[in-house]
Amino acid sequence: MHSLCMLILPESQNGCSNTKYRKIRIFRWNHVDSSGACCAVVLFNEILSCVLIYLSYPIMKLTGMSCDQPVPQLWKMYLLYVGFGYLNIIAFFYLHKLMHHPSIYKYFHKMHHEWVAPISIASVYSHPIDHIFSNFVPYFIGPVLLGSHLSLTWWWIIYAQMESSYHHSNYHLPFLSSPQYHNYHHVKFNQNYCDPFFDGVYKTNLVFQKSIEAKRDRPFYSLTPIDVQYPDEVQKEK
């Protein structure tokens, strides 16, 4: 639902020039012809996820995931969600970087990068193998390893998918986290694999750090679009 809302956002821009201006400007073309083809791939991958969840149930049960026990106390819920987040970042960075290895990139992950200027629903537009390694495993590794209550797992998956779809939406909206970091990855391919810490360690965000997008990579809390607050250098000179 979140992805569909972001998908129809361009149609609602006629009366709101500020929203139009918050679209991140990408000066390259996508390699896919329509969002219809994207939706078909995404539907297949969502069905695949359901099958994988069913097949993974014995492992989840073995590690303590259950809905029979009471929901954990708030402090434990907080610690679990922090753990989910960090394990997601670690798994996604290394698996995503693996998918970019020259020996396998063209077979799996290249499909996802057909969207140079992605749309929200394209967050799950990927080869099935890539979907397993880049989406499914990072999402579920935290709940499985930490033995989460089932209800916490579902809330985590909902949150993680909403974040992923927003960060592929190509829109930088006020009061929300910044999608600039991952958006730059879709433009440059070999920059910004996941997280500033790991990218800093492996020096895979050095080009990004010198770009105007790095200055825009922050939440903002006004109705002034971020690219007005931090205009392109060419515009500044004018």
Write the pLDDT tens digit of every residue in 114-134: 988 888 999 999 999 999 999
Is the model's pLDDT at 32 over the cut of 70? Answer: no
Q: What is the pLDDT of residues 187-207, one digit of tens each?
A: 999 999 999 999 999 999 999
Q: How far is CA 189 from CA 25, 39, 88, 137, 174, in A?
A: 17, 23, 20, 21, 26
Q: What percent of the chain has pLDDT over 70?
A: 84
Instruction: Report the range of poorest mean pLDDT among 4-13, 46-55, 144-153, 195-204.
Output: 4-13
- Reference 199, options 101, 99, 85, 94; nearest CA is 94
Task: Give the other-Cβ count within 10 Å of 97's Cβ.
Answer: 16
Quick check: 168 and 24 in contact, CB under 8 A? Answer: no
pTM of the model: 0.85
How many angstroms separate the CA atoms of 1 and 6, rounded?
Answer: 9
What are 171's strand-pairing partners?
A: 23
Can you list the alpha helix ranges (DSSP code H) found in the chain? 2-7, 17-21, 35-62, 74-99, 128-131, 137-146, 150-167, 180-188, 196-201, 206-209, 212-216, 226-229, 233-237
What does the pLDDT read at residue 9? 52
Q: What is the pLDDT of residues 205-220, one digit of tens each?
A: 999 999 999 999 999 9
pLDDT band at 7 (very low <50, low <70, confident <90, very high): low
pLDDT band at 16 (very low <50, low <70, confident <90, very high): very low
